[in-house]
Amino acid sequence: MNRINKKLQEDKKLLSIYFTAGYPKLEDTVPVLEELVKAGVDMIEIGLPFSDPLADGPTIQESSTAALKNGMTTAKLFDQIKDIRKTVTIPLIVMGYFNPMLQYGVEKFCKECSEIGIDGLIMPDLPLAEYEAHYKATFEKYDLKMVFLITPQTSDERIKQIDAASDGFIYMVSSASTTGKTSGFSTVQTDYFERIAALNLKNPQIVGFGIKDRETFKAATKTAKGAIIGSAFIKTLTENGIEGISSFVKSINYLGASPEDIR
């Protein structure tokens, strides 16, 4: 069974962390990954940097620009993490934009991900229709779970289509925004979380965008299976380096949360 599906069966709320590969320094990819695992996160999204990340706010844009300047490429990333499965057992997802994958070759990209032990892909600008028409067979051949996004504006009908096309989890974007907006959650978000929960989808949902601390993590996972922290993690990485990872993860404190917080 794919590691993502297995992880989703665990009876707990999941914390997933996004970070940009090759940031702050080119060779930090593996040390960051290992430190995150040590700190006890459940899942990791490895960000493959892109020159024009449309869905991202300034924090991830800047980390991407820095990583590219450091020399990060698709080939470099695959080389850095080629032995990652010797030390890391949690689900690993590569998150990036579609153009670098297209240039690398979709089949070659999938094949190498599979050889490394990557479990899934998040490509925000590879939409459902194109995926199903052209790429689904290749992703499935290499047992890579494609994770789709939904937003508060996504219609119930489309959510059901996305649910039907998914086999893993659905990435539930918390609000109409790019990544890294930190205004916190209002009733708009909580109503949306509850609306989605009421749809009883076959795939669990993991919330992303705007999750930055224990409070937002708790709010997001009240109904959802887990939450993803990206920009807030990149910020802490920029300010405190790899040494700061463990205390950041602890500050989310989900492991020590009381049962009513996490169930």
Partner 1 sequence: MNYNVNEKGYYGDFGGAYIPEMLYPNVEELRQNYISVMQEPEFQEEFKELLKEYVGRPTPLYYAKRFSEKYGTKVYLKREDLCHTGAHKVNNTIGQILMAKRLGKNRIIAETGAGQHGVATATVCALMGLECIVYMGAIDIKRQAPNVARMKMLGATVISAESGSKTLKDATNEAIRDWINNPTNTHYIIGSVVGPHPYPDMVARFQSVISEEVKKQLLEKEGRENPDYVVACVGGGSNAAGLFYHYLDKPEVGIIAVEAAGKGIHSGESAATSALGKEGIIHGSKTLLMQTDDGQITEPYSISAGLDYPGVGPMHAHLFRSGRGEFISVTDADAMQAGLDLCKLEGIIPAIESSHALAIFEDRKFKKDDVIVVNLSGRGDKDLNTYIEYFDLA
State the residues that interact with partner 1 by CB under 8 A: 50-55, 57-58, 61, 65, 68, 73-75, 97-104, 124-127, 130, 148-151, 153-155, 158, 173, 176-178, 181
Tokens of residue 167, six digits: 């086999």
- For every residue of 72-138, DSSP letters joined together read --HHHHHHHTTTGGGT--S-EEEE--HHHHHHH-HHHHHHHHHHHT--EEE-TTS-HHHIIIIIHHH
CB of 179 to partner 1, least distance (A): 10
CB of 76 to partner 1, least distance (A): 9
Based on the residue annotation, tell me whether 45 is a catalytic residue of this protein. Answer: yes
* CB closer to partner 1 out of 183 and 200: 183
Q: Which secondary structure element, helix H or strand E, spans residue 131, and what is its range?
A: none
CB of 61 to partner 1, least distance (A): 5
CB of 178 to partner 1, least distance (A): 5
* CB closer to partner 1 out of 31 and 71: 71
Beta bridge partners of 226: 14, 206
Whether 254 and 40 have beta carbons less than 8 Å apart is answered as no
* CB closer to partner 1 out of 68 and 262: 68
The residue from 56, 112, 119, 163 that is catalytic is 56
- For every residue of 151-164, DSSP letters joined together read -TTS-HHHHHHHHH
Whether 51 and 125 have beta carbons less than 8 Å apart is answered as no
Based on the residue annotation, tell me whether 163 is a catalytic residue of this protein. Answer: no
* CB closer to partner 1 out of 89 and 153: 153
* CB closer to partner 1 out of 55 and 262: 55
How many CB atoms lie under 10 A from the CB of residue 81? Answer: 21
Whether 120 and 203 have beta carbons less than 8 Å apart is answered as no
CB of 83 to partner 1, least distance (A): 22
The 3-state DSSP class for residue 242 equals helix
The residue from 28, 42, 45, 119 that is catalytic is 45
Amino acid at site 180: G
Catalytic residue numbers, as ranges:
45, 56
